[in-house]
Amino acid sequence: MPPSIDMNRFAQLKATGDLPSPRGVALAIIRMTQSDDVSVAELARVIKGDPAFVGRIIKAANGLTGPQRRSVVSVQEALMVLGMPAVRTMALGFSLLSSYRKGACASFDYVRFWSSSLVMALSMQTLVQRLRVVAADEAFSVGLLARIGELAMATVYPVEYGRLLLEIQRNPDRRLLDLE
């Protein structure tokens, strides 16, 4: 049976404002793509505010088009090829990946965390594409965020969580969940 959640600690965690979350252009993209009445032109204008994201979505769109089609070269074309849900998922993923590559918790391996989260996200996306049980972009998001609590703990409680991680390294037979 999982340990009970300390609601005071949970409220404290939420109140800090330090939880991993998208910012800037990525947050605007996520909000806009949740609206039914957003136009491709409006969204493209916002996306153009982040040149790195522009490159990523054009590259992703070109990866989906066949060799017989001409290359996608504009943000609007990329949006049409990828669709709003995929762009929202990409904005979330790239925002979190770029914002939390390192942090205050010395014992937390940020690179390993994101590598495994990305592998899980891609694995879930591939699996549901074959099984057709849920939308692939939703499965990607679930996989990407499945262990986000670990990042939250490392961000909000870097010293305390670092001690727990060191304890796990010294005693591998212990479970992190039990210590948390």
**Tens-digit pLDDT profile for residues 2-20:** 555 566 766 766 666 666 6
- The residue that leads in pLDDT, 4 or 41, is 41
Alpha carbons 134 and 35: distance in angstroms, whole number: 20
Q: Contact 32/46 with Cβ under 8 angstroms? A: yes
pLDDT at 77 over 90: yes
Q: Contact 80/40 with Cβ under 8 angstroms? A: yes
137 by DSSP, 3-state: which? helix
Q: Which H, E and C letters describe 85-104, residue by residue?
A: HHHHHHHHHHHHHHHCCCCC
* pLDDT score recorded for residue 19: 62
Mean pLDDT throughout 153-157?
A: 88
Mean pLDDT throughout 68-85?
A: 89
Alpha carbons 165 and 161: distance in angstroms, whole number: 6
Q: How confident is the model at residue 1 (pLDDT cuts 50, 70, 90)?
A: very low
* DSSP per-residue letters across 12-81: HHHHTS-S----HHHHHHHHHHT-TT--HHHHHHHHTT-HHHHHHHHHHHHHHS-TTSPPP-SHHHHHHH
* Tokens read off for 145: 């965020």
* pLDDT score recorded for residue 103: 85
* pLDDT score recorded for residue 132: 87
pLDDT at 66 over 90: no
Residue whose entry in the numeric block shows the structure tokens 């009970």 = 4
- The residue that leads in pLDDT, 64 or 114, is 114
Mean pLDDT throughout 162-180?
A: 86
Task: Give per-residue pLDDT as tens, 91-109.
Answer: 888 887 777 778 889 999 9
* Tokens read off for 170: 């010294």
Half-sphere exposure at residue 93, Cβ-oriented, CA atoms within 13 angstroms = 27
Residue whose entry in the numeric block shows the structure tokens 């039990």 = 178
Domains assigned to the chain: 7-99 (1.10.3210.10), 102-180 (no CATH)
* pLDDT score recorded for residue 119: 86
